[in-house]
């Protein structure tokens, strides 16, 4: 039986700006030329060349491939089952593809290493064919990356990198009750929001905010309060400013805002929370099986 592959490709800025019905202001950027337009066109050429190289290698391997462009709103073609998911773009495309992959092995290909961040990408255009051969020969085993599992009422969602919980307005105070469960402290807090991260996401936003980098294979969940409000005297510093949550434990956040948002993996999905809603976040039972990630 041929290898069944879902190929998830980034939609480039050039494709978005040049598309019929695109914002006229964006289309004018391309028509004017200059350095911005030049960069957009060059990135598109690099990405297109990488997609072509990846497609040729999959054809040479006899793979049965379904290709989709973007995965934020997956089309019917993205429905499995598949033996391998390949993302072509950068880390953003990998994160979108990982939402479709479940436990299926996923290989990220950085289509433009000079301009694109690709920490999760285990291949580039020149190495993809070799990495694919190693996978087919059984020489390449996936790395199990922990995901976050979030629930709020009847809703359930997952993130590979991180969650951000904050007021709908970035300039407004986030108000909530944070608790460590099943047996831990509970505290009313006011801040700019709350970061919750996996090990894979610990080199990103949470690190920039003052968090720690975790071993890639760790199944702990990290949390960090952003800009905690201390009161007029500065003595109201919260106890639960940040830390690690062990597997089998979870974070619980009770919303004390009329409008709050939970952002998944940089806003690739989002939920609205209302006053009194309770968000529970823990490590997911379904890891992401990433190939050639170090």
Q: 238-280, pLDDT tens digit by residue?
A: 889 999 999 999 999 999 999 999 999 988 789 999 999 999 9
**What are the pLDDT digits (tens) for 157-181?**
999 999 999 999 989 999 999 999 9
| Listed residue (87, 111, 91, 109) closest to 14, CA to CA | 111
Query: For 148-284, which CATH class?
Result: mainly beta
How confident is residue 198, by pLDDT bands cut at 50, 70 and 90?
A: very high
Q: In angstroms, how far apart are the furthest CA atoms of the chain?
A: 69
Residue keyed to tokens 């993130």: 159
Q: Which CATH number fits domain 4-141: 3.20.20.70, 3.30.930.10, 3.40.50.10330, 2.130.10.10?
A: 3.40.50.10330
| Listed residue (174, 163, 155, 187) closest to 260, CA to CA | 174
pTM score, two decimals? 0.89
How confident is residue 24, by pLDDT bands cut at 50, 70 and 90?
A: confident
Q: Where are the domains of the chain?
A: 4-141, 148-284
Nearest 5 degrees, angle CA 196-CA 198-CA 199?
135
Residues marked active site are found at 91
Whole-angstrom Cα distance, residue 133 to residue 115? 27
Residue 232 has pLDDT above 80, yes or no: no
Q: Which residues, in sequence order, are bridge partners of residue 179?
A: 186, 252
How confident is residue 18, by pLDDT bands cut at 50, 70 and 90?
A: confident
Peptide bond into 81 cis (omega under 30): yes
Tokens linked to 267: 């806003």
| Residue 75: predicted pLDDT | 63
């Amino acid at each position: 039986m041929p290898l069944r592959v879902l190929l998830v490709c980034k939609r480039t800025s050039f494709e978005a700006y040049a598309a019929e019905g695109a914002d006229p202001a964006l289309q004018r950027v391309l028509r004017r030329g200059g350095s911005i337009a030049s960069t957009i066109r060059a990135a598109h050429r690099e990405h297109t060349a990488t997609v072509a190289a990846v497609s040729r290698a999959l054809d040479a391997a006899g793979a049965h491939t379904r290709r989709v462009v973007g995965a934020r709103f997956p089309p019917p073609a993205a429905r499995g089952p598949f033996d391998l998911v390949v993302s072509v773009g950068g880390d953003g495309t990998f994160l979108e593809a990982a939402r479709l992959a479940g436990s299926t092995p996923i290989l990220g290909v950085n289509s433009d290493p000079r301009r694109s961040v690709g920490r999760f990408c285990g291949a580039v255009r020149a190495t993809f064919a070799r990495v694919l051969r190693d996978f087919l020969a059984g020489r390449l085993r996936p790395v199990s990356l922990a995901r976050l599992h979030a629930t709020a009422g009847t809703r359930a969602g997952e993130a590979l990198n991180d969650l951000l919980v904050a007021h709908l307005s970035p300039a407004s105070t986030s108000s909530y009750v944070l608790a460590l469960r099943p047996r831990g402290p509970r505290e009313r807090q006011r801040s700019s929001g709350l970061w919750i991260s996996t090990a894979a996401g610990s080199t990103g936003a949470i690190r920039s905010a003052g968090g720690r980098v975790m071993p890639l294979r760790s199944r702990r969940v990290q949390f960090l309060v952003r800009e905690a409000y201390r009161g007029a005297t500065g003595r109201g510093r919260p106890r639960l400013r940040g830390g690690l949550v062990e597997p089998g434990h979870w974070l619980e956040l009770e919303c004390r805002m009329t409008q709050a948002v939970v952002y998944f993996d940089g806003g690739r999905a989002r939920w609205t929370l209302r006053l009194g809603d309770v968000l529970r976040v823990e490590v997911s039972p379904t890891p992401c099986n990433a190939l050639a990630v170090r």
